[in-house]
Amino acid sequence: MKKIIISALTLSSLLLCSQTNKRPDNWINLDPGVDSINGVGSNRAYQELLKNKKSKTIIVGVLDSGVDFEHEDLKNVMWTNPGEIANNGIDDDKNGYIDDIHGWNFIGGKDGKNVSDDNLEMTRLIRKLKSKYEGKTEIDFKNKEEKVELKLYEEIKAEYSKTKAQFDGGYNQLKFLIEGFEMLTKKINSDQGKSQITSIELEKFNPANKNDSTIKTVALSMVKRSGSNLEETISGLKAAFEQYKSYVECGLNEAFDPRSIVGDDYSNSNERYYGNNDCNGPDSFHGTHVAGIIAASRNNGIGMDGIAADVKIMAVRCVPAGDERDKDVANAIRYAVDNGAKILNMSFGKRFSWDKKVVDDAVKYAEKKGVLLIHAAGNDNADIDIVNHYPCKKYENNSKAENFMDIGALSWKRETKIVAPFSNYGKNTVDVFAPGVEIYSTVPKNNYKDASGTSMAAPVTAGVAAVLKSYYPDLSPQRLKKILIESSLKNYKNKKVIKPGTKDELIEFEELGKNGGIINLYEAIKLAEKL
């Protein structure tokens, strides 16, 4: 799931959802030692350590929802397949993919159609297992594997019921607020003749009834907290509503299955050659934002500066609105590896897995080919030492992929508020933390916006890794990972921070990840030089 901070909303959480102060500009590139901001020190690294050094162009695979490869800040950093002639309908380089100029799309059909929305994995698994296990108990099965599968079905069913109730509730709440705020807008416009309704106009409004009074109270609180006006607040609610609508109508809808669009044999996880060359897709907001963090053109006077200067972005579309499918993820990894990517960014994840083995095999393949995988830890403020989050570095035999990193998210705020309140964590699983709150980056049609999530922290780390690989191209993925972890800043060692998912519960920062480390390019370069 390409999840930019979406969770089941309550009325109280909506009141608290907006930031009360503004993030520093370009904060991911700043340095804690120079700027007192927990960015990754990329500006400092380029100025002080890399000025006269030569680099090698590195291909970074962005496995995501798609990338707007014509974006003004990305078009010059997009990978272009040297063996392919654009739009001639021929597989010129004989790699099995026709006209894959900037990458490939594994969730599209040969007719050019694309999957936009898809189920959550739990929905697909319920649809698969329901007929066999619904209403059954262990005594109905003699086979050990069936008993295990029955237990899985019961777990999935419980999680599904809980999740559906949350999203149904959030959907209805958002609908109620949007309708109420729009009604309020009409009444204030009629009463005061205001086109933009600020907190001042809201305070002047005299409610005619209890419902109007409730809506006014909620609207006033949200507008004051955000520092915006009512129209902007409604716009934000509508964006959230569309995401909830996707979950309710598609993600959690057992009757919805768009896979026929792709036209593959979904029962065959080893099938590789399907999809189309539309690596932008119908909604590339998430992937375009991720790509910009990694590699938006630096120092070109427009937009924002990505972290890595000498890289090319390969767009591999495999993530819909909903949960990615294991078959597509495995093929996306293999495609990127086979076409020269040395670092893969994977800003997605899910609670359950359909075919873990096919993904594990692809991760092993990437390791054999010298490729580092950077994975977002997830946004459920959960301990992923305990709660599954796929794909993961742990294989079924309990061994671990040494070319795989899980990344938690940091806020630009300091002291106890340094960890993003939504970030997953795990003493034995999360390798490092990186900036992931209010990250300003590229979005489709030459626009730029803030977004938050471990989805943003992963490409920050991927960008740092790409710079290292660019200047030290002989680094193996294992060595690269080691440098990133060992050079991470330990500024918060023995310090307590607010535990994700709690209001004020304090926990030592190093309990949230393996090393209590914050990714930093400046220190990583220094360590690479020593080694």
Whether residues 154 and 293 share a domain: the answer is no
- 455-470 pLDDT, tens digit per residue, is 999 999 999 999 999 9
Residue 256, in any domain of the structure: no
Residue where a domain stops, chosen among 251, 277, 293:
251
Whether residues 219 and 280 share a domain: the answer is no
Whether residues 211 and 76 share a domain: the answer is no
Cα 363 from chain centre: 19
**Count of domains forming the chain:** 2
Whether residues 321 and 185 share a domain: the answer is no
Query: 182: domain range?
Result: 121-251
Q: How many CA atoms lie within 13 A of 201 on its CB side?
A: 21
Residue 19, in any domain of the structure: no
Note the pLDDT of residue 16: 40
Note the pLDDT of residue 3: 53
Closest CA to 460 of 482, 434, 425, 438: 434
Note the pLDDT of residue 11: 39
Whether residues 109 and 154 share a domain: the answer is no
**Which two three-digit tokens encode residue 289?**
């934002």
Residue 46: burial class (beta carbons within 10 Å; 0-12, 13-18, 19+): buried
Residue where a domain stops, chosen among 251, 278, 308:
251
The whole-model pTM stands at 0.93
Strand residue runs (E) in 29-177: 58-64, 103-105
Note whether 458 and 2 are within 8 A (CB).
no
Could you tell me the CATH number of the domain that includes residue 464?
A: 3.40.50.200
Write out the chain's pLDDT in tens, 531 residues: 655 544 333 433 443 444 446 788 899 999 998 998 999 999 999 999 999 999 999 999 999 999 999 999 999 999 999 999 999 999 999 999 999 999 999 999 999 999 999 999 999 999 999 999 999 999 999 999 999 999 999 999 999 999 999 999 999 999 999 999 999 999 988 876 666 899 999 999 999 899 999 999 999 999 998 888 999 999 989 989 998 999 999 999 999 999 999 999 999 999 999 999 999 999 999 999 999 999 999 999 999 999 999 999 999 999 999 999 999 999 999 999 999 999 999 999 999 999 999 999 999 999 999 999 999 999 999 999 999 999 999 998 889 999 999 999 999 998 899 999 999 999 999 999 999 999 999 999 999 999 999 999 999 999 999 999 999 999 999 999 999 999 999 988 889 999 999 999 999 999 999 988 999 999 999 999 998
Residue 480, in any domain of the structure: yes
Note the pLDDT of residue 254: 96
Residue 389, in any domain of the structure: yes
Whether residues 298 and 316 share a domain: the answer is yes
Whether residues 508 and 375 share a domain: the answer is yes
CB atoms within 10 A of CB 220: 17
Residue 18, in any domain of the structure: no
Residue 233, in any domain of the structure: yes
Residue 258, in any domain of the structure: no
Whether residues 353 and 414 share a domain: the answer is yes
What is the rounded CA–CA span in Å between residue 150 and residue 136?
A: 8
Strand residue runs (E) in 245-320: 311-317
Note the pLDDT of residue 193: 67
Note whether 2 and 455 are within 8 A (CB).
yes
Closest CA to 119 of 244, 249, 239: 249
Q: How many CA atoms lie within 13 A of 380 on its CB side?
A: 17
What is the rounded CA–CA span in Å between residue 21 and residue 99?
A: 47
Whether residues 319 and 240 share a domain: the answer is no
Whether residues 334 and 210 share a domain: the answer is no
Note the pLDDT of residue 226: 81
Whether residues 156 and 301 share a domain: the answer is no
Q: What is the average pLDDT value for the chain, to the nearest integer?
A: 93
Whether residues 162 and 269 share a domain: the answer is no
Note the pLDDT of residue 194: 62
Residue 8, in any domain of the structure: no
Q: Which helix (H) or strand (E) holds 359?
A: helix 356-368
Residue where a domain stops, chosen among 251, 275, 291:
251
